[in-house]
Structure 1
Amino acid sequence: MARIKVFTNHYYPENFRINELVEGMTDDDVDVICQIPNYPKGQFFDGYSLTKRRKDKVGHANVKRLAVIPRGNNSIMLILNYLSYIVSSFFYGVFTKDKADYVLVYITSPIFVAWSGLRFAERNKARSTLYLLDLWPDSLETMLGIKNQFIIKRLEAMCLRIYDRFDTIAVSSMGFIKALEDYGVDSNKIVYLPQHADKNDEKLRFDFKSEVLKIVFTGNIGEAQGLDVLVDAASALSKQNNESVLFEIVGDGRYRKTLEQKISDQGLSHYFKFKGQVDKKEIPSILSNNHFGFVSLADEEIFSKTLPAKVQSYMTYGIPILASANGEIPYILDKAKCGFASPAQDGLALANLITELQGLSVEKLEELSQNGYNYSVEHFNQDKLTKQLLQIMKEGK
Structure 2
Amino acid sequence: MKILVVTQYFWPEEFRINDICEGLIEKGHEVEVLTGIPNYPYGKFYDGYSFLKKGKREYKGIKIKRVPIIPRGKDGFIKLALNYMSYTVSASIATARLLFNRYDRVFVFQLSPITLAIPGIIISKIKKIPSTIYIQDLWPESLYCIKEVSSEKVKSILDRLCMKIYNSFDNVLITSNGFKEKLIDRGMEKEKITYLPQWAEEFYRKENEYYNMELESEVLTVTFAGNIGKAQSVSTIIEAAKLAKNNKKIKWQIIGDGSEFENIKDLVKKYSLEETVYILGRKPAKDMPMYFSKANGLIVTLANEDILKATLPAKVQSYMASGKPIIAAISGEGNDVIKESCCGLVGEAEDYRKLYENVIELYNMNLDQRKKLGDNGKKFFEENFTREILLNKLNEIINI
TM-score by length of 1: 0.95
| Partner in structure 1 of residue 158 of structure 2 | 155
Larger RCO: Structure 1 or Structure 2 (Cα < 8 Å, ≥ 6 residues apart)? 1
Which of 380, 388, 392 is the aligned partner of 1:387?
Answer: 392
Deviation at 1:345, TM superposition (A): 1.3
2:353 and 2:206 map into 1 onto residues whose CA distance is: 38
**How do 1:213-224 and structure 2 match up within 5 A?**
213-224=220-231
Deviation at 1:79, TM superposition (A): 1.2
**How do 1:171-320 and structure 2 match up within 5 A?**
171-199=174-202, 200-202=205-207, 204-238=211-245, 241-320=246-325
1:54 and 1:284 map into 2 onto residues whose CA distance is: 29
1:49 and 1:88 map into 2 onto residues whose CA distance is: 15
| Partner in structure 2 of residue 71 of structure 1 | 72
> CA separation of 1:393/1:70 partners in 2, compared to 1, >3 Å: closer, same or farther?
same
Instruction: Point out the more displaced range, 271-280 or 40-49.
Output: 271-280
1:46 and 1:277 map into 2 onto residues whose CA distance is: 18
Deviation at 1:271, TM superposition (A): 1.9
Deviation at 1:149, TM superposition (A): 2.1
In structure 2, give the amino acid aligned to 1:174: N
User: Cα deviations across residues 56-83 of structure 1 (Å, max 9, x unaligned)?
Assistant: 1001110111111111111221111111
1:147 and 1:181 map into 2 onto residues whose CA distance is: 24
Deviation at 1:54, TM superposition (A): 5.0
Instruction: Point out the more displaced range, 183-192 or 85-94.
Output: 85-94
* Residue 15, structure 1, aligned to residue 14, structure 2: yes
In structure 1, give the amino acid aligned to 2:258: G
| Partner in structure 2 of residue 87 of structure 1 | 89
Question: Does the CA contact (< 8 Å) of 2:110 and 2:134 recur in 1?
Answer: yes
Question: Does the CA contact (< 8 Å) of 1:94 and 1:116 recur in 2?
Answer: no
| Partner in structure 2 of residue 39 of structure 1 | 40
1:352 and 1:201 map into 2 onto residues whose CA distance is: 32
| Gap regions ≥5 residues in structure 2 | none
1:9 and 1:319 map into 2 onto residues whose CA distance is: 32
> CA separation of 1:186/1:94 partners in 2, compared to 1, >3 Å: closer, same or farther?
farther
Deviation at 1:332, TM superposition (A): 0.7
Question: Does the CA contact (< 8 Å) of 1:198 and 1:312 recur in 2?
Answer: no
In structure 2, give the amino acid aligned to 1:221: I
1:285 and 1:29 map into 2 onto residues whose CA distance is: 34
* Residue 342, structure 1, aligned to residue 347, structure 2: yes
| Partner in structure 2 of residue 56 of structure 1 | 57
1:138 and 1:279 map into 2 onto residues whose CA distance is: 29
Deviation at 1:209, TM superposition (A): 4.0
2:276 and 2:8 map into 1 onto residues whose CA distance is: 36
SS of residue in 1 equivalent to 2:218: coil
Question: Does the CA contact (< 8 Å) of 1:18 and 1:106 recur in 2?
Answer: yes
| Partner in structure 1 of residue 129 of structure 2 | 126
2:132 and 2:224 map into 1 onto residues whose CA distance is: 32
Question: Does the CA contact (< 8 Å) of 2:327 and 2:355 recur in 1?
Answer: no
Matched residue pairs, number?
392
Question: Does the CA contact (< 8 Å) of 1:7 and 1:33 recur in 2?
Answer: yes
CA RMSD, Structure 1 to Structure 2 (Å): 1.5
Question: Does the CA contact (< 8 Å) of 1:209 and 1:362 recur in 2?
Answer: no
In structure 2, give the amino acid aligned to 1:152: K
SS of residue in 2 equivalent to 1:196: coil
* Residue 139, structure 1, aligned to residue 142, structure 2: yes
User: Cα deviations across residues 112-149 of structure 1 (Å, max 9, x unaligned)?
Assistant: 11111011111111100000011101111222111332
1:195 and 1:92 map into 2 onto residues whose CA distance is: 29
| Partner in structure 2 of residue 321 of structure 1 | 326
Deviation at 1:311, TM superposition (A): 0.7
| Partner in structure 2 of residue 167 of structure 1 | 170
Instruction: Point out the more displaced range, 244-253 or 273-282.
Output: 273-282
In structure 1, give the amino acid aligned to 2:85: L
2:2 and 2:22 map into 1 onto residues whose CA distance is: 15
| Gap regions ≥5 residues in structure 1 | none
2:215 and 2:55 map into 1 onto residues whose CA distance is: 47
Deviation at 1:55, TM superposition (A): 5.5
Deviation at 1:38, TM superposition (A): 0.8
SS of residue in 2 equivalent to 1:248: strand
Runs of 4+ that moved beyond 6 A: none
Deviation at 1:95, TM superposition (A): 4.7
